[in-house]
Chain A
Amino acid sequence: MARFFREISFIIAISVLGAAFSLFSGLAPLPWAEPGLAAGEIWPADARALQVIWIDARNEADYHTAHIPSAIYLNDEHWETGIIELMDAWLTQPRPIVVYCGSEGCGTSKRIAEHLRDTLPDAEIYSLKGGWDAWLQ
């Protein structure tokens, strides 16, 4: 048992040293600091201030329950129909495009935004920081 505690103390000590290295080398931000934006993200407040084209990348049930007014439903399953609607809106009035999914870590909005950057290289495309949850707050 003493050996187990010795080994676990060693493992924890090395892990904490590693974490300290991440902090002091600047790899990781201070955990108590305000969270920042990753590349390609936009804050809900900034997106609200801009006249953007909203893309809802959640599932169909969530979209039908509630969505941001005039948001276009576009995800992997409805790419063909959604992209036509988006092209139509963007070509009529070019504006930034903001993609959102359900929550902070859903990942779908980043993936769809990435696909859209390939499809519309001239457009300004973001994913919404915090997703639908952040929009509701």
Chain B
Amino acid sequence: MATIMNRQLFVLLARLALAGVFVTAALPKIEDPVAFASSVGAFRIIDSELSAWVALLLPWLELVIGLGILLPAIRRTSSILVGLLLLLFIALHLSAWMRGLDISCGCFGAETGEASADYRWLILRNLLLLGAVTLVHKQDRQNHNAAPR
């Protein structure tokens, strides 16, 4: 019983951490989409017009799934989308690292003073978040399967 309680507490903390990170990351980008578009463009994968579309839509998606991971009605899908986004970010950072790009992450907006990306730390951070989202998603699936139909 105590093990189950501990596990549920751990999952709740992971859920809150993921929500906190995604909401905190989304708000400055919603506030300053021009700077975020510039950070997206720096990865040199898409052109500037597409970067502007990404900078417009992605922060709102991050905000909705960041809050959604706490809401029972959409938390399963939100956790899947959070996981997919984290995989995408890891792939983008790996790609930029391999190409030797000197860019700032832009992960929490492109505020002045942000240092050049430390790719090892960024990838490690996203892998930790991916671990947390796997835990959360597993719990959601268990709850879904155990729920009366």
Contact = CB atoms under 8 A, between A and B. Distances in A.
Contacts of A101: 102
Nearest to B62: A15
Nearest to A18: B60
B23 interface: no
A59 B52 CA distance: 28
B116 A108 contact: yes
Is chain B's binding surface mostly helix, strand, loop or mixed? helix
A8 B77 contact: yes
B37 A35 contact: yes
Contact of B110 (A23, A40, A59, A107): A107
Contacts of A108: 102, 104, 115-116
A26 to B, nearest CB: 11
Contacts of B139: none
Interface residues of A, number: 36
B78 A11 contact: yes
B113 A35 contact: no
Interface in A1-45: 4, 7-8, 10-12, 14-16, 18-19, 22-23, 27-29, 31-32, 35-36, 38, 40
Contacts of A12: 61
B130 interface: no
A95 interface: no
Contacts of A19: 56-57, 60
Instruction: Identify the interface centre among A10, A14, A58, A107: most chain B CB within 10 Å of its CB.
Output: A107
Interface in A30-87: 31-32, 35-36, 38, 40, 58-59, 62
Closest 9 CB pairs of A and B: A105-B42, A107-B104, A18-B60, A31-B52, A7-B77, A28-B33, A15-B60, A15-B61, A102-B102
18 contacts: A4-B80, A15-B61, A15-B64, A18-B30, A19-B60, A31-B49, A31-B53, A35-B48, A101-B102, A102-B102, A105-B106, A105-B110, A106-B102, A106-B104, A110-B112, A111-B112, A111-B114, A111-B115
Interface of B: 30-31, 33-35, 37-44, 48-49, 52-53, 55-57, 60-61, 63-65, 68, 73-74, 76-78, 80-81, 101-104, 106, 110, 112-116
Given A4-B80, A105-B106, A111-B113, 12 more contacts: A7-B76, A7-B77, A12-B61, A15-B63, A18-B64, A27-B33, A28-B33, A38-B34, A107-B39, A107-B114, A108-B116, A114-B113
